Structure formats: C-alpha cells, structure tokens
Structure 1
C-alpha cells in the first residue's frame, strides 16, 4: 500500500490487528503484518504506533515517502487487480483463523477490498500531491491523476 507507513518482515504473533484493527492485516500464509490503510487521524496514527511497538521484530517503518515515487504509486494502482485476487484466494484461510483467534481478519479483508474500490483513489491522489510538492494540498490545488 503506497504511503509513509508499512510493515515488512514482521513477526507472526498477531498483534497488529489488536492495536490497529482498521489499518493492519495479516498475510494469510505466514500471518506477517502489513498496513492496508494509512492512518487518517491522530487516533489512527497512535493505533499504528502501538501496533509497531508491540511487533517483536520492530519491522514497522514510517519512511515510505523516501521509497515511493509518483511513478511507483501509479504502477501500484494499475496493478491493483492483484489485490482483489489475493484477498479472494485467502478468504478461507482468514475465516479459519477467525474461527480460532477471533480477530476479524476475514471482515478486515472485505474492508480492504471496499476501501480499494472506494476512497483509496482519492487518498492516493492526495499522496501523489504530497510526493510531488512535499505539502498537503489546499482546496485551490489540483490533484494529480492516477
């Protein structure tokens, strides 16, 4: 997910959703944590910080702005169909895990799909503006196209 925050090579202790249920998901095979939605409020930012602090390998980072480029964001957006395929292919695994651990991973995957099909495009356009201008857009600014 393009943005400043991400999880990479995290543990599989399943703490991300405990602290940041609307922001973190688990990769289905090894349950590595990843950020599926960037925080939009200070409360969500605190949740993500809490998830990062609970993660045993300290594998959450906030330097995504140094790695993402406008071209890379646009490429990620063009290839977003693979997310739909991935989420659908792992649904049974997440439902089985939910039956055991009860963290709501399957419903979070549905939320991710809805976010991807809804608000995400607008959020990525704001992020593209940030990457290009290094400031938040005003109402007078035109947002770049994906």
Structure 2
C-alpha cells in the first residue's frame, strides 16, 4: 500500500515541478537564477573561456587578439614574407590574397588593394566594431591569405623603420589617386588612409610599441615610447 501512495505522490509532484520550472516573469524571462548562480548584467562583456574584454576607451592600445581564438583558423594562413610593404604595423596583414575585391568592399575603412594587386590592412582594429569589419573581410577572402600573427614578427625597430619610410607610402597613395598606383581602390578609402597617416596612426603605433615591449595594453595616459 505504501508503494502505491508513493507512486501517486510522485505522479502529482512531476506536473507541479514542471509548472514551477515554466513559471516566467511578465517580461518573458525565467523567474530567477539559481541562488548559487547570480545574474550577470549586460555590462559584463565576457566570452566563453576568455577573460573580460578591455574597454578601448581605457587603453592606449587595444589588443584585438583577445577576441580571436585561433588566428590561423579565424583570420587566415597568410605568410609574413608575402605581406605588402604598405600594410601598417599591427597584428593583422594581408599576404597572397585574392584580387576579387571582397576585402575593400567589406571593410573599406581598413582594407585596400596594394601595388601588387593583393589586399593589405591600412588601419588596424582599435575596438570590437572595427574588428568585426575586418573579420568579415577575412571570411570573404578566398585564398585565406590574411594572417593574425603580426605580433610575432614586428619588433620595435621594424615598426620605427616602417614609420620612417612612410613618405613612400604617401607617394603610393598619391599615385593611386591619380590612377597610376596599380590598384582598384575607392577614392574615399585612399583619402582615409592618407588622413590616418596624418592623424591617428602615430598614436596607434606608439601604443603598439608599448604592447610589443611590455606584453600588455597601456592604460590611457600612460607614457608611451616614441617613434
């Protein structure tokens, strides 16, 4: 007899448990998190298995690789020796990419055609939104010719050498604007590259020098190396 009553009680408890599980708030969200798992607000910008993403407004150099799990898988397998001389220093660069124009179309504020008909990064990602634009360009590249291992190759001396030779980069921009650069670029993007050389790139590269030397993001206002 006791076994019968236990079976009846279990049968009644199951619907009641389901009813409690399905109870929801007026806004459609679950009634509440378990006591041992507090809710996290939307300001907690975390991804599975990764530390909290830094705020670009709080650092003088923002490391985009904190949102990249595997550069070879998520960016590409481009070779350092194939990169364009025009590619600005930073973690991302274009190697032997295709010439279909997907990169400049997907990320016109970051990607251009170079003097060899392949794509290069003229503006590195300085925040999650800019990284998303570049990731779209990476994903559309047929030959997987981009790479995200620039930090392993750039040295402070190499960054300074690139900056010292920026007059040659500006000359290429002027030639491409005049139709002699060998590329097929939008005028707006070429002008954006020229403007970046004049205002913004120097500060970025100084922050990048700090990153290469110290292995951490410099805080906003922290002294930075000179170029």
Task: Give the superposition deviation at 1:138.
Answer: 1.6
CA shift in 2, pair 1:60/1:138, >3 Å: same
Give the distance between the partners of 2:200 and 2:89, measured in 1 at CA: 14
Runs of 4+ with deviation above 2 angstroms: none
- The alignment status of 1:9 with 2:96, answered yes or no, reads yes
Q: Which residue of 1 aligns with 2:147?
A: 61
Task: Give the superposition deviation at 1:28.
Answer: 4.7
Give the distance between the partners of 2:170 and 2:110, measured in 1 at CA: 17
Q: Which residue of 1 aligns with 2:197?
A: 116
CA shift in 2, pair 1:139/1:54, >3 Å: closer
Q: Which residue of 2 aligns with 1:83?
A: 169
Deviations along 1:64-87, one digit per CA (max 9) or x if unpaired, are 000000000000011110011111
Q: Which residue of 2 aligns with 1:25?
A: 112
Give the distance between the partners of 2:144 and 2:120, measured in 1 at CA: 13
Which structure is larger by alpha-carbon Rg, 1 or 2? 2
Q: Which residue of 2 aligns with 1:106?
A: 187
Q: Which runs of 5+ in 2 are unaligned?
A: 1-87
Task: Give the superposition deviation at 1:105.
Answer: 1.6
Q: Which runs of 5+ in 1 are unaligned?
A: 99-103
- The alignment status of 1:92 with 2:189, answered yes or no, reads no
Give the distance between the partners of 2:188 and 2:106, measured in 1 at CA: 16
Taking structure 2 as the reference length, what is the TM-score of the superposition?
Answer: 0.58
Aligned residues: 140
Which structure has the highest helix share of the two? 1
> Of residues 117, 124, 137 in structure 2, which corresponds to 1:51?
137
- The alignment status of 1:144 with 2:201, answered yes or no, reads no
Taking structure 1 as the reference length, what is the TM-score of the superposition?
Answer: 0.88
CA shift in 2, pair 1:34/1:130, >3 Å: same
| Bigger relative contact order, structure 1 or 2 (CA pairs below 8 A, ≥6 apart) | 1
Give the distance between the partners of 1:6 and 1:74, measured in 2 at CA: 17
